[in-house]
Amino acid sequence: MITFKDKVYKIASKIPKGKVATYGQLASLAGSPKASRAVGMFMAKNPDRSYVPCHRVVSSKGELTGYSYGKGIITKKEMLKKEGVEFIGDRIDLSKSLWRK
């Protein structure tokens, strides 16, 4: 049986470089639109960053929220910029960088 967490990780693994998804977007795509907080917890406990690019998951406003690798949010922002994600100040420009599945 595939769990909600497994679905979230599988969907998140498909977010391409240069794009981001929101916690709510992943929750909806995995079948539980009100479970964005659970998605955040899954990303925080991601067992394999090479498979699940959790740095590409952001808030619905394009804000960079918690990240436990490296220097936290600083590292997350550096990684996203290196991949070509566009920012307006400290927020991601979702009109240009939001992944459309």
- Alpha carbons 101 and 90: distance in angstroms, whole number: 24
CA–CA dist 25, 73 (Å, integer): 20
List per-residue pLDDT tens for the chain, 101 residues long.
999 999 999 999 999 999 999 999 999 999 999 999 999 999 999 989 889 999 999 999 999 988 888 898 999 999 999 999 999 999 999 999 999 97
Does the pTM exceed 0.85?
A: yes
User: Which letter does DSSP use for residue 73 in this model?
Assistant: H
> How does pLDDT run across 33-58, given as a tens digit for each residue?
999 999 999 999 998 988 999 999 99
Given 11, 35, 39, 54, which residue is catalytic? 54
Check if 37 is active-site: no
Question: Residue 41 and residue 98: Cα distance in Å, rounded?
Answer: 21
What are the chain's domains? 4-97 (1.10.10.10)
